Structure 1
Amino acid sequence: MKLRRNIKSVLAAVLLIGFVSCEDLEVENLNALDINGVLSNPAEFPALVQGAYGQWWNQTQISYPNMYLSVAAQVFSSSWTNYAMFDGGRIPPRPFVNSNTASTRLVNRNPWRGIYNSIGPVNDVLKVMNANFDGKAIDPVTGEDNTPIVLANARMMQGLALGWVSIIFDRGFIVSEELTDEELGSLEFSGYRECADAAKARFLEAAAIFDANPDITFNGFNGVTLPADEAARFARSYAAKVEVFSARNADQTVNETDWNEVLQLTTNGLTIDIAPNGDGGNQWWTRALRNGQFAGWVRVSQRLINMMEGGTGGRDIQNPADTDPNNATAPYPWQDNVLSYPEITTPRDQRILTDFTYNSNVPFRSDRGFYIFGNYSYSRYIYFVNDNLVGPMPHFTVTENNLLRAEALIRTGGNKAEAAQLINATRVDRGGLPALTGAESDDVLLREVTYERLVELSWHASTNGYLARRITTTEDLKLPPGTPLSMPVPASELEALGIPNYTFGGLGNPDGSE
């Protein structure tokens, strides 16, 4: 899918000098570059590339689109209008309101602008480095050659930016340092799959540079310094994530995702958890670990708690008789005019007792729908709240890599006993659930992959729970019918480009799915 539009007037500033509007961004962009200033000194290039990561994090990982989509996915639950959570959680789902004035406007506007504001400075550095310094980043004072570290971290940042375009939006602009002004002026929209392919290529370029230069490091995430070998593994794992989670539905998961590629990438994927350190709420923090762990702001969706207790949608395949939601302490859906349910004392999944906190009262407004109610709040990482938004923020863990690899093994006819072992690492060790053996059917094993993603990863990277439901082939774990499967390009950008407005989601909306 490509649409030819003249975008020079809209994106030139973003792509060339990191332009940003501060009206509705989390923080002011401090990374806007002066072409005639800092870009004249190659000694500044490593820091300039590193600074772009903060802009990307700030606008894709903190509030938007995570809070809206996580509530829409029935992982988080909230009746409050902040961060468009109430809009996201309506049952039945409504079309996403793609408007410059709607309460939902920041859900897609902030990540769109943040992504392109982060990739712009990186492209500037590479463009100037190629044009003025023979493609090198040599410190003019010390003579130190920083070319490999600049290139590796720049490719990694380009991969993250384009990867999140493919994950969130139905289309985007594939921008690079190679674009001339003329090419920029006639740049075309590319579909999300094309953006995913471009992102994977950047990640794999980064991995190759890290592999070839064992003395360099990845240092883009706050408080994280990875040696070259682990940085290369991180890049390959992220490429696998983009390949898997750019799918929009079960059919694409089965017929379009390259599971052989995913298997190869995750077999050589990360071996340590990647968790940037919170900086006290300035630029590096997440609302999921802040408001998402405040019992008065966000509760865990009753759908997820019901699954963990053993009700519909979360039954233990090895105990299929345990499926009656009417016998559940936490029934799903929540019943009208019921204000609270008792605490679950004998859960099927022991993580209810360790990662979640029971609250006897529900703070939400009943006139907005009892379906939004929930007794349980999330508290696995409550240290982040108690320590004033300082501490590790799990973003991409070994568990996530292992679940990607487990699914790839299952879908490619690989070693199912190995896949079961990867699933069991959290299912048994933390959940106290019966071990899988690999003798189960593919459907059973794939169901447990999705279940582990929902329980283990939903409070990690932005929209993890939503993505798990979007791609699953397990019918009763999918997104509610009518949930948007993509975010549209923001209305403000469409208006500037002279493109008719459009949106996704809502029952009966002809544009509701890809």
Structure 2
Amino acid sequence: MRNFKKILFSTLGLILLITSCQEFETDLEVENLENPNDAILASDPVALEATAGNILNSWYMTVHSTSGPGAALQTMADVSTCSWGNFGMRDLSSEPRVAFNNTTGYSNNVTSSYFNSLYSLLTDSNTLVTAVEGGTEFSEPEMILMMGKMGQALSVGYLALVFDRVWLYDADGPIGDNETGETDYATAMSYALDRLDEAISIAEGNTFILPETWLPGVNASSSTIAEILNSFGARMLVCNVRNSSEKTNINWDRVLAYTNDGITADFNITMDDITWYDLIPKTYLVYPGWGKVDMRIVNLLDPNMPSYWANDLTNLPEATSADARLETDYEYTSSNSFSPDRGLYHFSNYRYSRLDDYITEWTIPVTELSKSELDMYKAEALLNKNDLSGAASVINAGTRTTRGNLPDVEENTTEIFDAIFYERMIEFAYTGMGLSFFEMRKEDLLQEGTLLHFPVPGTSLDAIPEEYYTYGGTSGEPGKDYSTGGWR
């Protein structure tokens, strides 16, 4: 490798430099048996199996952490509302929208830990793949290889969903046309989906069961994992676009194939409140006194309610809705604990109560990817393939009717489109990280000035070094880096 190649691998703000061994030599070579080198660790099957067992937990705890973008994405999407300054919620959802503070001095850890952790996950995943392909002996090598490919897919995929650019690398160094491995979010997602397809192929072609601690409460056989991975494929493929014009780049045949081979029931993981727990969105965006349901969502449930808490409002009565989920999933609140001086537009008369069992018991199964979410990807794929009958059938057999008790949608493009959007806002906005934001972004509905993706964290820019930049407000390219106008 050439010594000027750099991979942006950030660990506590540092840069991993890949340099040529020929250009760094030492006359003193002493084997330290008490501190084995990377080559030894990378060939130790016991250590590597422990790494494989941590892949899914590492990804899950990263995307559902308070040290990440999840809370800000939820409030920027006007699905949840909160005036508290924690987790970047107030700064990024205040109106009018302003540029994201990407300096190293910013007090909220919105992107740095997320960025670092996913690159760490990518490195661990690369190590697993290299070990299996290099002949390290495992009792179930195909299971380890699948975990490595899955980790590559999830780490790169979730970097692409959130950031403007990604650095691709494997154990041999940078990947791609750029000597540093730097690439755009679309190319990065293509790479992630290719690795995901490889993981799916391994799972479908072999028989194994993941240890319970690797994915608690799932009974994760290889066939079950294949279904889960197909479902993630649909999610990542649909959610990665930055505006409505990019929807033409989505391969709807591929989305449909993923959904046809995806989950047949909700993908739930059992929390233990020690190593598995969900802080965002399932705790801080639903716990009393924290996040509430944005009035935009209340208005979807009851069009007689305002979609925005105007300055002349003092209180609002209970909503009424034809959708049964208003009663089962939402709770009326007669007061607000938010600071009025931070903007009355943060106020709401509802909180999300469907997760009350979780925030009471803490050690129960919670949904990461629902069957309804997969259904909506399938319906959207069918809609874009002009199969209105098929799309309507999927919607009418799903949670719109089974939980909402709403009437069937007709075989009409507008009705189907609206029904898909509605389910995404009402049924599963509190499962996977950022789902509502990705949907609002895809449909050009984020408020004017809302960033469409995050810049590389300022700590990493300093370490490269690279000039400071950011997005949001009027910073960046209109319509590609920040929204030029949305739902209001």
Does TM-score exceed 0.5, indicating one fold? yes
Alpha-carbon distance, 1:398 to partner: 1.2
- Counting only pairs closer than 5 Å after superposition, residues 146-161 of structure 1 correspond to structure 2 as 146-161=140-155
- Structure 2: 5+ residue stretches without partners: 19-35, 482-488
Q: TM-score with structure 1 length normalisation?
A: 0.83
2:448 maps to amino acid: P
Q: Give the alignment partner of residue 414 of structure 2, picking from 443, 462, 471.
A: 443
Query: Corresponding residue for 2:384?
Result: 411
Structure 1 residues 445 and 395: CA distance shift in structure 2, 3 A: same
The CA deviation string for residues 64-114 of structure 1, in whole angstroms up to 9 with x for no partner, is 21101100110010010011111121112111111111134x211121111
Query: Corresponding residue for 1:420?
Result: 392
Structure 1 residues 486 and 111: CA distance shift in structure 2, 3 A: same
Alpha-carbon distance, 1:270 to partner: 1.6
Assess if the C-alpha contact under 8 Å between 1:123 and 1:176 holds in 2. yes
* Partners of 1:398 and 1:179 in 2: CA distance: 38
Alpha-carbon distance, 1:278 to partner: 1.6
Structure 1 residues 16 and 355: CA distance shift in structure 2, 3 A: farther
Query: Corresponding residue for 1:79?
Result: 83
Alpha-carbon distance, 1:268 to partner: 1.4
Q: Give the alignment partner of residue 191 of structure 2, picking from 185, 188, 198.
A: 198
Structure 1 residues 361 and 183: CA distance shift in structure 2, 3 A: closer
Which shows bigger deviation, 259-268 or 36-45? 36-45
Alpha-carbon distance, 1:458 to partner: 1.0
Assess if the C-alpha contact under 8 Å between 1:172 and 1:189 holds in 2. yes
Assess if the C-alpha contact under 8 Å between 1:481 and 1:507 holds in 2. no
1:214 maps to amino acid: T
Q: Give the alignment partner of residue 360 of structure 1, picking from 334, 340, 347.
A: 334
Query: Corresponding residue for 2:441?
Result: 470
The CA deviation string for residues 335-388 of structure 1, in whole angstroms up to 9 with x for no partner, is 2142321112x313221111011111111111111111001011102111111x
Query: Corresponding residue for 2:311?
Result: 336
The CA deviation string for residues 202-233 of structure 1, in whole angstroms up to 9 with x for no partner, is 11101100111023448643443321112112
* Counterpart secondary structure, 1:413: coil
Alpha-carbon distance, 1:146 to partner: 1.6
Assess if the C-alpha contact under 8 Å between 1:45 and 1:137 holds in 2. no
Q: Give the alignment partner of residue 468 of structure 2, picking from 470, 482, 501.
A: 501
Alpha-carbon distance, 1:285 to partner: 2.3
- Counting only pairs closer than 5 Å after superposition, residues 98-113 of structure 1 correspond to structure 2 as 98-104=102-108, 106-113=109-116
Q: Give the alignment partner of residue 51 of structure 2, picking from 43, 48, 51.
A: 48
Query: Corresponding residue for 2:171?
Result: 177
1:259 equivalent to 2:252? Answer: yes
- Counting only pairs closer than 5 Å after superposition, residues 319-398 of structure 1 correspond to structure 2 as 328=304, 330-344=305-319, 346-387=320-361, 389-398=362-371
1:53 maps to amino acid: L
Assess if the C-alpha contact under 8 Å between 1:7 and 1:185 holds in 2. no
Assess if the C-alpha contact under 8 Å between 1:93 and 1:482 holds in 2. yes
Q: Give the alignment partner of residue 93 of structure 1, picking from 88, 92, 97.
A: 97
Assess if the C-alpha contact under 8 Å between 1:14 and 1:120 holds in 2. no
1:49 maps to amino acid: A
Structure 1 residues 223 and 234: CA distance shift in structure 2, 3 A: same
1:79 maps to amino acid: S
Assess if the C-alpha contact under 8 Å between 1:153 and 1:218 holds in 2. no
Query: Corresponding residue for 1:114?
Result: 117
Query: Corresponding residue for 1:61?
Result: 64
Assess if the C-alpha contact under 8 Å between 1:16 and 1:121 holds in 2. no
Alpha-carbon distance, 1:187 to partner: 2.1
Report the count of equivalent residues. Answer: 457
- Counting only pairs closer than 5 Å after superposition, residues 450-489 of structure 1 correspond to structure 2 as 450-472=421-443, 478-489=445-456
Assess if the C-alpha contact under 8 Å between 1:288 and 1:459 holds in 2. yes
Q: Give the alignment partner of residue 285 of structure 2, picking from 292, 299, 315.
A: 292
- Structure 1: 5+ residue stretches without partners: 18-32, 139-144, 312-327
Assess if the C-alpha contact under 8 Å between 2:451 and 2:473 holds in 1. yes
Structure 1 residues 332 and 208: CA distance shift in structure 2, 3 A: same
Alpha-carbon distance, 1:428 to partner: 1.6
* Counterpart secondary structure, 1:190: strand
* Partners of 2:177 and 2:274 in 1: CA distance: 36
Assess if the C-alpha contact under 8 Å between 1:10 and 1:496 holds in 2. no
Structure 1 residues 217 and 14: CA distance shift in structure 2, 3 A: farther
Alpha-carbon distance, 1:284 to partner: 3.1
Assess if the C-alpha contact under 8 Å between 1:15 and 1:121 holds in 2. no
* Counterpart secondary structure, 1:395: strand
Structure 1 residues 14 and 41: CA distance shift in structure 2, 3 A: farther
The CA deviation string for residues 12-31 of structure 1, in whole angstroms up to 9 with x for no partner, is 988799xxxxxxxxxxxxxx
* Partners of 2:238 and 2:407 in 1: CA distance: 27
Alpha-carbon distance, 1:48 to partner: 1.2
* Partners of 1:411 and 1:196 in 2: CA distance: 21
Which shows bigger deviation, 427-436 or 148-157? 427-436
2:92 maps to amino acid: G
Q: Give the alignment partner of residue 241 of structure 2, picking from 247, 255, 265.
A: 247
Assess if the C-alpha contact under 8 Å between 1:8 and 1:184 holds in 2. no
Alpha-carbon distance, 1:176 to partner: 2.1
- The percent identity for this pair of structures is 26
1:109 maps to amino acid: S
* Partners of 2:277 and 2:287 in 1: CA distance: 19
Structure 1 residues 482 and 227: CA distance shift in structure 2, 3 A: same
Query: Corresponding residue for 2:180?
Result: 187
Query: Corresponding residue for 1:137?
Result: 137
* Partners of 1:496 and 1:508 in 2: CA distance: 22
Assess if the C-alpha contact under 8 Å between 1:62 and 1:462 holds in 2. no
